[in-house]
Amino acid sequence: MRTRIRRLGISQGVVIPKGLLEQAGFAIDCPIEMTVDGASIVLRKIGVPAREGWAEDAASLAAEDEDLLWLDADLGAR
């Protein structure tokens, strides 16, 4: 695919077609790293470290999970 560098205010840029972004696995607000490799500009997704945010997500789910309410129930013998 050919395109041109365009003026964007005081910067320059290129428009990357949606299909190309999807093919590469990029999404809106996806953090990326931009590097220069010889005469090429390379974009790479920045991976989220494994388990990042798990503790916060688990705490949030536990706070919202009605199925866990039985843990506080009075289960005394009848």
pLDDT, tens only, 53-62? 788 888 887 7
Report which secondary-structure segment, H or E, holds 21: helix 18-24
Per the structure, the complete domain to which residue 63 belongs is given by 6-67
How many structural domains does the chain have?
Answer: 1
Q: Please report whether residue 74 resides in a domain.
A: no
Q: What is the CATH number of the domain that holds 35?
A: 2.10.260
**pTM (2 decimals)?**
0.53
Q: Please report whether residue 30 resides in a domain.
A: yes
For CA atoms 2, 8, 11, 17, give the dihedral sign.
negative
Q: Which residue has the higher pLDDT, 37 or 65?
A: 37
Q: Please report whether residue 20 resides in a domain.
A: yes
**Helix count and strand count (H, E) for the chain:** 2, 4
pLDDT, tens only, 3-53? 999 999 999 999 999 999 999 999 888 889 999 999 999 999 987 667 777
Q: Please report whether residue 76 resides in a domain.
A: no
